[in-house]
């Protein structure tokens, strides 16, 4: 528990979403690329291992492991471990279809319940031989993919669209993706994919709603500079909001496609203040948080952090547009309702979200369900509620290996080790 309002500057490592996209784009390019500011976490290391398994050169700088050179080469078969990384599970199969040989993919036990057949079925429709519809599965690569038009339902994850887009320029006919069904969640992540592909010289037409077309052609090498991970930053700026304190994040980008940037608007709506000065974001918390009514469809990954803040608010909150979170690392809606209620809160599931009403909270064990976002949400509540303990804070290594130490340094008023 924080004994006083937090006051710290927190330097956040690189974006997982940008890192894993940059790794695959660089692996498909014509010449080597150097990535700086790479996030080194379980999810990103699994992606680096995946492209290395397929024959791509991966060379971290011995003096700085966050700088990595990616050297494209002929793709080969092998076995890929996706762990709990949705980007690895969904971005690797289209790339694997370009390999000369069979690529098998498996992951952690919890991962086997997450949806993947949408992208596997799409690859079948594009002429790829795929064995299996869930983890583990196999891709029989022949060195090329026919490509063409494909219709999918990506309402459970935007990663199905991004995964196809990233490799599509290397397909013989490119790809035209038509989405049918409920709106695609996390649209900003698709925007991120498109912007990065265009930076690499790939032609992407997104002018028609729910349709994306990638023109076949070369992928240019780009020396990517990875932004700080704004979704990981969310827990730290939320700590300022929860405790009535002040947290600053250096290198906050002026322009970004990261949906995590929207945490600032959420915190302001709940009563905090925020300003950016010289590339440094500073958030100051209010005396008391207000409840929130919001559609979080585009920023679903922030839901655990936001829900924790709502459990501390003085009025009712209604969070909607996030039914797809039932298919994340865990069923995040059920997990949040269960854990907030376990601490004395009043949190109930709705058809597509959560309703959280004011109630006094007490200490207890917060279960993380091997989910990094659940773990940081528990840590956030523990700043304000005496006696809260997170059962598996180590699972934050998925995207932020140094999180426990960073959290302690924040409480001490410095981000320096």
Q: Give the residue among 269, 297, 268 at the shortest CA–CA distance from 283.
A: 268
Domain end among 169, 185, 214? 214
**What's residue 416's pLDDT?**
54
**What's residue 414's pLDDT?**
72
Structure-token match 């990261």, residue found: 258
Q: Do 335 and 373 reside in the same domain of the chain?
A: yes
Reported pTM: 0.89
Q: Which residues are annotated as a binding site for 3-phosphoshikimate?
A: 16-17, 21, 157-159, 186, 301, 328
For residue 322, is it within any domain?
Answer: yes
For residue 198, is it within any domain?
Answer: yes
Per-residue pLDDT of the chain (417 residues; tens, 9 = 90+): 887 999 999 999 999 999 999 999 999 999 999 999 999 999 999 999 999 999 999 999 999 999 999 999 999 999 999 999 999 999 999 999 999 999 999 999 989 988 899 999 999 999 999 999 999 999 999 999 999 999 999 999 999 999 999 999 999 999 999 999 999 999 999 999 999 999 999 999 999 999 999 999 999 999 999 999 999 999 999 999 999 999 999 999 999 999 999 999 999 999 999 999 999 999 999 999 999 999 999 999 999 999 999 999 999 999 999 999 998 778 999 999 999 999 999 999 999 999 999 999 999 999 999 999 999 999 999 999 999 999 999 999 999 999 999 999 999 987 655
Q: How far apart are CA 308 and CA 242, in angstroms?
A: 9
Q: How far apart are CA 62 and CA 280, in angstroms?
A: 29
Q: Do 206 and 319 reside in the same domain of the chain?
A: no
For residue 417, is it within any domain?
Answer: no
Q: Do 163 and 191 reside in the same domain of the chain?
A: yes
Domain housing 314: 228-412
**275, burial (CB in 10 Å: exposed 0-12, middle 13-18, buried 19+):** exposed
For residue 64, is it within any domain?
Answer: yes
**What's residue 327's pLDDT?**
82
Q: Do 249 and 183 reside in the same domain of the chain?
A: no
Q: Do 73 and 36 reside in the same domain of the chain?
A: yes
Beta bridge partners of 137: 105
Q: How far apart are CA 22 and CA 197, in angstroms?
A: 9
For residue 209, is it within any domain?
Answer: yes
Domain end among 161, 183, 214? 214
For residue 221, is it within any domain?
Answer: no
Domain end among 214, 241, 274? 214
**What's residue 12's pLDDT?**
95
Q: In 15-161, where do the E strands start and end? A: 33-35, 57-61, 64-71, 76-81, 100-106, 129-131, 137-142, 148-152
Q: Do 333 and 300 reside in the same domain of the chain?
A: yes
Q: Which residues are annotated as a binding site?
A: 16-17, 21, 86, 114, 157-159, 186, 301, 328, 332, 373, 398
How far out from the chain centre does Cα 295 lie? Answer: 18
Tokens of 242: 């929860």
**What's residue 415's pLDDT?**
62
Count of structural domains, the chain: 2
Q: Which residues are annotated as a binding site for phosphoenolpyruvate?
A: 16, 86, 114, 159, 332, 373, 398
Q: Do 192 and 283 reside in the same domain of the chain?
A: no
Q: Do 25 and 154 reside in the same domain of the chain?
A: yes
Known catalytic residue: 195? no
Q: Do 203 and 281 reside in the same domain of the chain?
A: no
Long-range contacts of the stretch 119-127 (C-beta < 8 A, 24+): 119/90, 119/93, 119/94, 119/152, 119/159, 119/160, 119/163, 119/164, 120/93, 121/152, 122/150, 122/152, 122/160, 122/164, 122/177, 123/93, 123/94, 123/97, 125/150, 125/151, 126/97, 126/150, 126/171, 126/175
* Catalytic entry in 301, 339, 349, 357: 301
For residue 310, is it within any domain?
Answer: yes
Q: Do 144 and 242 reside in the same domain of the chain?
A: no
For residue 338, is it within any domain?
Answer: yes
Domain holding 238: CATH number?
3.65.10.10
Q: Do 203 and 242 reside in the same domain of the chain?
A: no
**What's residue 1's pLDDT?**
83
Q: Do 206 and 270 reside in the same domain of the chain?
A: no
Tokens of 172: 């013989």
**What's residue 113's pLDDT?**
87
């Amino acid at each position: 528990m924080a004994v006083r309002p937090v006051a710290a500057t927190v330097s956040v490592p690189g974006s997982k979403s940008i890192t894993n996209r940059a790794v695959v784009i660089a692996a498909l390019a014509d010449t080597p690329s150097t990535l700086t500011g790479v996030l080194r976490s379980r999810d990103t290391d699994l992606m680096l291992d995946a492209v290395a398994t397929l024959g791509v050169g991966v060379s971290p700088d011995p003096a700085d492991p966050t700088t990595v050179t990616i050297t494209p080469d002929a793709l080969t078969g092998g076995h890929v471990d996706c762990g709990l990384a949705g980007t690895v599970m969904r971005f690797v199969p289209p790339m694997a279809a370009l390999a000369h040989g069979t690529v098998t993919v498996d992951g952690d036990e919890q991962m086997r319940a997450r949806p993947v057949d949408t992208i596997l079925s799409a690859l079948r429709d594009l002429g790829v031989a795929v064995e299996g519809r869930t983890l583990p599965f196999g891709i029989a690569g022949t060195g090329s993919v026919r490509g063409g038009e494909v219709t999918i339902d990506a309402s459970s994850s935007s990663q199905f669209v991004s995964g196809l887009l990233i490799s599509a320029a290397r397909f013989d006919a490119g790809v035209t993706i038509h989405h049918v069904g409920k709106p695609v969640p996390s649209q900003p992540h698709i925007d991120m994919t498109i912007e990065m592909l265009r930076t690499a010289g790939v032609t992407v037409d997104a002018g028609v709603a729910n349709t994306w077309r990638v023109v076949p052609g070369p992928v240019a090498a780009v020396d990517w500079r990875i932004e700080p991970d704004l979704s990981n930053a969310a827990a730290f700026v939320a700590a300022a909001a929860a405790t009535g304190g002040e947290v600053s994040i250096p290198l906050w980008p002026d322009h970004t496609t990261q949906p995590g940037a929207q945490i600032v608007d959420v915190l302001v709506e709940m009563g905090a203040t925020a300003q950016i000065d010289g590339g440094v974001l500073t958030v100051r918390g209010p005396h008391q948080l207000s409840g929130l009514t919001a559609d979080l469809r585009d920023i679903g990954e922030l839901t655990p952090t936001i829900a924790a803040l709502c459990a501390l608010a003085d009025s009712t909150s209604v969070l909607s547009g996030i039914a797809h979170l039932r298919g994340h690392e865990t069923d995040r809606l059920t997990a949040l309702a269960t854990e907030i209620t376990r601490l004395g809160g009043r949190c109930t599931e709705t058809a597509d979200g959560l309703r959280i009403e004011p109630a006094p909270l007490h200490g207890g064990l917060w279960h993380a369900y091997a989910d990094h976002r659940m773990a940081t949400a528990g840590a956030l509540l523990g700043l304000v509620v005496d006696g809260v303990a997170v059962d598996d804070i180590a699972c934050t290594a998925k995207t932020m290996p140094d999180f426990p130490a960073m959290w302690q340094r924040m409480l001490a008023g410095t981000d320096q080790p």
